[in-house]
A and B are shown apart, each in its own frame.
Chain A
Amino acid sequence: MEDQELIAKLRVEESRNFAFNQLVRKYQERIYWHIRKMVIDHDDSDDLVQDVFIKVWNNLSKFREDSKLYTWIYRIATNECLNFLNKKKKRFFIPLMDIEAEMVSKLDRNAHIDGDEIHLRLQKALMKLPHKQRLVFNMKYFDEMKYEDISEITGTSIGGLKASYHHAVKKIEEILSQD
Chain B
Amino acid sequence: MKKFKLEDIEKKHGLKAPPERYFDELPGIIQAQTAHKATSKRNFAWSGALRYALPAVVVLLVVVFIIRGLNQQDLDPESMIADVAIEEVMAYLEETDISTEELIASVDWDEASLDFEKDLEGAGILDEIELQEEDMLELFQEYNITEEYL
B26 touches A24 (CB 8 A): yes
A24 touches B30 (CB 8 A): yes
User: Is A177 an interface residue, CB under 8 A from the partner?
Assistant: yes
A112-B16 CB under 8 A given contacts A21-B27, A53-B30, A58-B37: yes
Residues of A within 8 A of B12 (CB): 115-116, 119
User: Is B3 an interface residue, CB under 8 A from the partner?
Assistant: yes
User: Is A32 an interface residue, CB under 8 A from the partner?
Assistant: yes
A114-B17 CB under 8 A given contacts A21-B27, A21-B31: yes
A87-119 contacts to B, CB under 8 A, are: 111-116, 118-119
B37 touches A123 (CB 8 A): no
User: Is A54 an interface residue, CB under 8 A from the partner?
Assistant: yes
Residues of B within 8 A of A57 (CB): 30, 34, 37
Give complex CA distance A37, B14 in Å: 10
B6-42 contacts to A, CB under 8 A, are: 6, 9-19, 22-23, 26-27, 29-31, 33-34, 37
B6 touches A50 (CB 8 A): no
Give complex CA distance A119, B27 in Å: 30
A19-56 vs B, CB cutoff 8 Å, 1 = contact: the mask equals 01100110011001100110010100110011001100
User: Is A8 an interface residue, CB under 8 A from the partner?
Assistant: no
Q: Which single member of B3, B9, B15, B23 contacts A29 (CB below 8 Å)? A: B23
A54-69 vs B, CB cutoff 8 Å, 1 = contact: the mask equals 1001100000000000
Main DSSP-derived SS at the B contact region: loop
Q: Which single member of A20, A32, A40, A123 contacts B18 (CB below 8 Å)? A: A32
Give complex CA distance A32, B31 in Å: 16
Number of interface residues of B (CB under 8 A): 27
User: Is A86 an interface residue, CB under 8 A from the partner?
Assistant: no
Interface residues on A, range: 35 or more
CB distance from B33 to the nearest CB of A (A): 6
A24-B31 CB under 8 A given contacts A173-B6, A176-B4: yes
A173-B15 CB under 8 A given contacts A21-B27, A54-B30: no
User: A-side interface residues toward B, CB under 8 Å?
Assistant: 17, 20-21, 24-25, 28-29, 32-33, 36-37, 40, 42, 45-46, 49-50, 53-54, 57-58, 111-116, 118-120, 122-123, 138, 141-142, 169, 172-173, 176-178
| Interface contacts beyond A32-B23, A113-B15, A114-B17: sample of 19 additional A-B pairs, CB < 8 Å, sorted by A | A17-B31, A21-B27, A32-B26, A42-B16, A46-B22, A50-B33, A53-B30, A112-B15, A114-B15, A114-B16, A115-B12, A116-B10, A116-B12, A116-B14, A123-B13, A141-B11, A173-B3, A177-B3, A177-B4
A–B complex contacts, Cβ < 8 Å, 16 sampled: A28-B23, A28-B27, A37-B13, A37-B15, A40-B15, A45-B18, A46-B22, A50-B33, A57-B30, A114-B15, A120-B14, A122-B9, A122-B14, A142-B13, A173-B4, A177-B2
Q: Which 6 residue pairs of A and B lie closest in terms of their CB atoms, listed nearest first?
A: A119-B14, A115-B14, A176-B4, A114-B16, A177-B4, A24-B27
